[in-house]
Amino acid sequence: MSGERLILSDINYLDKSGQAYTAPHLMLWSVTMFFLYPLCAVLIWSINSIVSKLSASAIDPAAISFYRWLLALLVLTPFVLPGVWRTRQAIRPHLWRLLILGLLGMVLYQSLAYYAAQSVSALFMGIIGALIPLLTVLLSVVILRIAPTLGILLGSIISFIGLVWLVSQGDVMQLLSHGLGKGELLMLAASAAYALYGVLTRRWALPLPIWHSLYVQILFGVLLLLPGFLLAPEVSLNRHNLPLVAFAGLFASIIAPFLWIHGVQRLGASTTSIFMNLIPVFTALIAVLFLHEQLHSYHWIGGGLTLSGVILAQRLRTPLTRAKPVNLRRL
């Protein structure tokens, strides 16, 4: 190689052209690839907000909710069911917890979001979805008894102000006069359900392989969604709504979680969670470009304040109360 002597210990990879990559090069490349896992996951979830909005005029919310998870269940069955069956004795004591998680994550969160999409914009859905990390932190204070921080306090206040500005479209008096609309309430309820899902997942810390746990949750979700599907006035699939169901069932329900889990395993939960803050940004860009939704000043102000509050709650970890020093003379 040009008469140069290469030390074997410095080489980690040699491509077909004979180009040698040293350990630092390979490490940088690996880290870059690891960041693509959560980045692609949040991009898929952002697109799914657009899919939810498009589905509002193409298929009944109860139908797409059911079809989505039924498709995911059918695709996962050949790969996951054998392992679930082998570990059924370990799964059985946790069935009621898995039922609750399936209700929160697969039924309430998704179904309420689909119903909300009938009356709110994809932009609004993306911004409200960005509140999930903050709601998770607030619920963790109550359920997990984590110590409240200055970031949680200030972030909650800032996000609340941003949310009020966003929902009122810059006219707070109008909000006080007319209150929240149905779509806004449904989207807030959906975000709260998913936040509670995250908190309970952490509290219970089920000793099960993650895909086994998700499979049983999806199974319960399909069973719980079945009555609404049977009562829906129109559930037929056609060339307009089939691609929406396919994207939600395959990309948003299987591929995105797969990428996210790999991101958490390689980057850690703390680093990976930062990427969630990109969802409203991606959603806004896609909604403006493809749905031609208008980005108004109240979106910038309300969305910016909401997202800033979420980031502040995640990153500013100064405790609100300091532990009192122990007086050793009294002991």
pLDDT in tens, 212-239: 999 999 999 999 999 999 999 889 999 9
pTM (2 d.p.):
0.83
69 or 24, higher pLDDT: 69
Does the pLDDT of residue 323 top 90, yes or no?
no
Do 76 and 276 touch, CB atoms closer than 8 A?
no
* Range name among 47-56, 89-98, 136-145 with the lowest pLDDT average: 136-145
Residue indicated by tokens 């319960």: 220
Question: What is the model's pLDDT at position 113?
Answer: 93
What are the tens digits of pLDDT across the range 61-70? 999 999 999 9
**CA angle in degrees (0–180, nearest 5) for 246-72-112:** 80
Contact assessment for residue 172 and residue 186, using Cβ atoms and an 8 Å cutoff: no
pLDDT of residue 4: 39
Q: DSSP code of 16?
A: T
- Say yes or no to pLDDT of 177 above 70: no
**Euclidean distance between CA atoms 140 and 3, whole angstroms:** 62
- Average pLDDT of 149-175? 83
Which among 199, 228, 233 has a CA at the least distance from the CA of 100? 199
| Of 155, 149, 154, 176, the residue nearest 165 (C-alpha) | 176
pLDDT at 42: 92
Mean pLDDT taken over the chain: 84
Residue 143 has a CB neighbour count (10 Å cut-off) of 13
Q: What is the pLDDT of residues 112-149, one digit of tens each?
A: 999 999 988 888 888 888 788 888 888 988 898 888 88
Q: Rounded to whole angstroms, what are the CA distances from 307 to 126, 195, 304?
A: 11, 16, 5
> What percentage of residues in the chain have a pLDDT greater than 90?
44
pLDDT band at 12 (very low <50, low <70, confident <90, very high): very low
Longest Cα–Cα distance in the chain: 81
pLDDT at 76: 96
Q: pLDDT over 70 for what percent of the chain?
A: 85
CA–CA separation, 156 and 134 (whole Å): 7
The kind and range of the H/E element at 157 are: helix 150-167
pLDDT of residue 236: 92
Summarised one tens digit per residue, pLDDT across range 282-302 is 888 888 888 888 888 888 888
Query: Could you give the CA distance from residue 14 to residue 329 in angstroms, rounded to a whole number?
Result: 67
State the pLDDT at residue 1. Answer: 41
Check: CB of residue 126 under 8 Å from CB of residue 284: yes
The whole-number pLDDT of residue 300 equals 87
- AA identity, residue 290: F
Best-predicted range by mean pLDDT (22-36, 164-178, 193-207): 193-207
- Whole-angstrom distance, CA of residue 293 vs CA of residue 284: 9
Say how far apart CA 265 and CA 268 lie, in whole Å: 6
